[in-house]
């Protein structure tokens, strides 16, 4: 059996004064609890190769998708 070592994921969140900047890479998702846990806010969008926009971005950059 071959071990698949492809792919990566990371989330970075950084406050600069009163602004929150987030970066996500790969199959990662970040959310923030707001209002004392009363609601959640998405801080990232999924970068899944099954998403048409992500497929287009990958192939236009010369990448390949293995499923």
Where do the structural domains in the chain lie, given as residue ranges? 9-60
Backbone torsions φ then ψ of 58, nearest 5 degrees: -65, -50
| Residue 26 pLDDT greater than 80, yes or no | no
Rounded Cα distance between 43 and 5, Å, is 27
The tens digit of pLDDT for each residue in 28-44 reads 888 999 999 999 999 88
Query: pTM above 0.75?
Result: no
């Amino acid at each position: 059996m071959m071990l698949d070592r492809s792919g990566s994921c990371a989330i970075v969140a950084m406050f600069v004064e009163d602004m929150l900047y987030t970066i996500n890479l790969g199959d990662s998702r970040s959310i923030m609890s707001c209002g004392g846990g009363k609601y959640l806010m998405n801080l990232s969008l999924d970068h899944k190769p099954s998403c048409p926009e992500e497929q287009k971005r990958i192939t236009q950059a010369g990448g390949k998708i293995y499923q």
